[in-house]
Chain A
Amino acid sequence: MPSRRFSRPRAVVVVTAAVALLLAACSPGGGTSAEPSGEPVAGGTLTYASGDAEPSCLDPHVGGNYPQALIATQYLESLVSLDEDGEVVPWLATEWDESDDGLEWEFTLRDDVTFTDGTPFDAEAVAANIAHVQDPATASSTGYLALAKIKDVVPVEDHLVRLEMSAPDSALLESLSQVWVAMESPAALERSQEENCAAPVGTGPFVVDQWERQESVTLVRNDDYTSPPADVDTEAVAEDTGLPYLDTIVWRFIPDSASRYAALQSGEVQVIDNAQPDTIRSAESDEAIEELDAPRPGAANRIELNSGKAPFDDERVREAFIRSVNVDDGVQSLFFGTAERSYSPLSSVEPLGLSLPGLFTVDPDAAADLLDDAGWAERDADGYRVKDGERLTLDFPVSTNQSIPAEQSLFEQIQADAKTAGFEIRLQPLDLSSWYGVLAENDYDLVSAPYTKVGPDVLRILYHSDSIEPAPSGYFANLAQVDDAELDELLTRASATSDAGERADLYAQAQQVVLEGYYILPLYDQQNHFLYSSTVRGLRAMPTVSTPTFAEAWLAS
Chain B
Amino acid sequence: MTLPVPTTGARRRPAPGNRRWLLLRAGGVVFVLWAAATITFFTLRLIPGDPAEAILGGPGSQAGPEALEQVRREYGLDQPLVAQYLTYLRRLLTGDLGQSYSLHKPVATAIGEQFGATLTLALVSLALAWALACALAAWSVRGGRVAWAIGSGLELVAAAVPHFWLATVLILFFSSTLGILPPVSVPGPLGIVLPALTLAVPLAGFLGQVMRESLLTAMESPFVTTARARGESEVRIFWRHTLRHAAIPAVGLSGWAFGSLISGAVVVESVFARQGLGRSLLSAVQLRDVTLVTGIVLVVALAYTVMTLVTDLADRLIDPRTRAATA
A residues touching B (Cβ–Cβ < 8 Å)?
Answer: 49, 52-54, 56-57, 62-68, 136-137, 139-142, 144-145, 148, 193-194, 197, 212-215, 252-256, 258-260, 262-263, 265-266, 268-269, 399, 401-402, 431-438, 440-441, 450-452, 461, 470, 472-475, 477
Does chain A have a CB within 8 A of B254?
no
Determine the residue in chain A with the shortest Cβ distance to B185: A215
Q: In the assembled complex, which residues on chain A have CB atoms less than 8 Å from the CB atom of B48? A: 433-434, 437-438, 441
Are the CB atoms of B50 and A53 closer together than 8 Å?
Answer: no
Residue in B closest to A451 when the chains form the complex, CB atoms: B62
**What residues of chain B lie closer than 8 Å to A441, measured between beta carbons?**
48
Contact of A214 among B104, B184, B276, B286 (CB under 8 A): B276
Identify the closest chain A residue to B278 (Cβ): A214
B238 contacts A by Cβ under 8 Å: no
Q: Chain A contacts of B63 at CB under 8 A? A: 141, 473, 475
Q: What's the tally of chain B residues with a CB closer than 8 Å to chain A?
A: 59
- Our pick among B70, B184, B279, B283 for the contact of A139 (Cβ within 8 Å) is B70
Give 23 pairs: A residue, B residue, CB < 8 Å, sorted on A: A53-B59, A68-B57, A139-B70, A194-B105, A213-B275, A214-B276, A252-B184, A255-B270, A256-B273, A263-B182, A266-B179, A266-B182, A266-B183, A402-B60, A432-B58, A433-B49, A434-B49, A435-B49, A436-B49, A438-B48, A451-B62, A472-B65, A473-B64
Do A432 and B286 touch (CB < 8 A)? yes
A65-B61, A438-B48 are known contacts. Are A254 and B184 too (CB-CB below 8 A)? Answer: yes
Complex Cα spacing A259 to B182, Å: 10
Question: In the complex where A255-B270, A259-B273, A432-B286 touch, is A65 in contact with B59 (Cβ < 8 A)?
Answer: yes
Question: Contact: A436 with B53, CB < 8 Å?
Answer: yes
Query: Shortest distance in angstroms between B96's beta carbon and chain A's nearest beta carbon?
Result: 16
Complex Cα distance, B288 from A434, in Å, reads: 9
Q: Per a CB cutoff under 8 Å, which of A67, A137, A265, A399 touches B70?
A: A137
Query: Are A65 and B67 within 8 A (Cβ)?
Result: no
| Contact bitstring B207-225, A, C-beta under 8 A = 1, else 0 | 0000000000000000000
- The CB with the most chain B CB atoms within 10 A, among A53, A142, A256, A399, is that of A256
CA distance A214 to B102 in the complex (A): 13
In addition to A136-B70, A255-B273, A477-B62, 13 A-B residue pairs with Cβ atoms within 8 Å of each other are: A53-B58, A53-B59, A53-B286, A65-B61, A67-B59, A139-B55, A142-B61, A142-B62, A266-B179, A268-B182, A402-B59, A432-B286, A433-B286
B55, B68, B273: which contacts A254 (Cβ < 8 A)?
B273
| Shortest Cβ distance from residue A548 to the other chain B in the assembled complex, whole angstroms | 16
Inside 8 A of A63's CB, which chain B residues have their CB? Answer: 55-58, 61
Judging by beta carbons under 8 Å apart, are B176 and A265 in contact?
A: yes
Whether the pair A259, B55 counts as a contact (CB closer than 8 A) is no
Residue of chain B at shortest CB distance from A469: B65
Given known contacts A194-B105, A256-B270, A475-B65, A141 and B56 CB-to-CB distance under 8 angstroms: yes
Q: How far does the alpha carbon of A401 sit from the alpha carbon of B272 in the complex, in Å?
A: 19
- On whether the beta carbons of B176 and A214 are closer than 8 Å, the reply is no
**Within 8 Å CB of A52, what residues of B?**
59
**B55-A256 in contact (CB<8A):** no
Q: Which residue of A lies closest to B285 (CB)?
A: A431
